[in-house]
Amino acid sequence: MAIDTKELMKQVGKIRVITNRLVDDYLSGAYHSVFRGQGIEFDEVREYVPGDDIRAIDWNVTARMGHPFIKRFSEEREMTVLFLVDISGSQGFGSGTRTKSELAAEITCLLALSAIKNQDNVGLILFSDRIEKSIPPRKGRTAVMRLVREVLATEETRRGTDITTALRFLSNVQKRRAVVFIISDFMDSGYDNELRVISRKHDVICCPITDPRELQLVNAGLIEVQDPETGDLCLLDTSSRQVRDAFREQGEERISDLTQQFRRLKIDTIWASTDRPFIDDVRKLFKQRQSRAGRV
């Protein structure tokens, strides 16, 4: 069932306060150097003066005016930042104080606030095994808070995860190059090729979200577990060391496969877990990108 409106606004307000402080304390100024505008755009024409690059002469204006004019260009600073947020059944899981969907909302808020402080546009695509909602890019804090509300207000679902569908939708609606954050637990397969195509066109950052209980079972005897996306039930004997070890190995293998996949596609990542603050993970990515660009 959908979250209570009063409770929803309380959560949104809490996230806004926390992430505002994080942006001001840790990310102020860093965002601009990490995510730069793409290329240059035309600014104006002015009269030629000795020493100007003759390759910049605007011959049409020069012919009309009877003396040389050159084109001036400036960095194309304004960007579009899109958030592809997974709201499938598994995102409702959380073994501690927050669920994966709540963590996704916090990450979205932090990065979106950083973007609008830089006068960028922010948009949102919510997906499960289909496109649930798409919000076109807009500027301003109101746009950011709407994004957070939409992520948090998602009704409980047992739908699966189809990252390929989300990426194809993005390709259709966003023609110009954008910064794209994919926030998901990536419990899906078969999307490698689509992710490769998208990463060539856009600046893609993947944000895998995990929970410690997905890597380690507690010894609680015989328990019944349910797949949140299919509803399937299964009995697990958590008192068995063999069962616990097999569960951990499977989880570690999934993380390892994801890590190798992102490295192979040369896609940056922000690894986040529901049991710890994520600001250090964001700052780590920022420092890596600054270092590669020679700006530290």
What is the distance between the alpha carbons of residues 114 and 107, in angstroms, rounded to a whole number? 11
Please tell me the pTM assigned to this model: 0.80
pLDDT exceeds 50 at position 74: no
The mean pLDDT value for 130-135 works out to: 94
**Backbone CA torsion sign across 234, 238, 242, 246:** positive
The helix (H) or strand (E) run that includes residue 7 is helix 5-22
Q: Are 270 and 279 in contact (CB under 8 A)?
A: no
pLDDT exceeds 60 at position 247: yes
The mean pLDDT value for 111-130 works out to: 90
pLDDT tens digits for 45-58?
888 888 777 888 88
The angle at the Cα of 281, spanning 276 to 285, to the nearest 5 degrees, equals 175
Tell me whether strands 80-86 and 222-226 are parallel, antiparallel or unpaired: unpaired
Provide the 10 A C-beta neighbour count for residue 232: 10
- 171: nearest Cα among 142, 146, 204, 217: 204
The mean pLDDT value for 232-251 works out to: 91
- Domains of the chain with CATH codes: 5-35+79-292 (3.40.50.410), 40-75 (no CATH)
- 36: nearest Cα among 279, 293, 284: 293
pLDDT tens digits for 177-232?
999 999 999 999 999 999 999 999 999 999 999 999 998 888 889 988 888 888 88
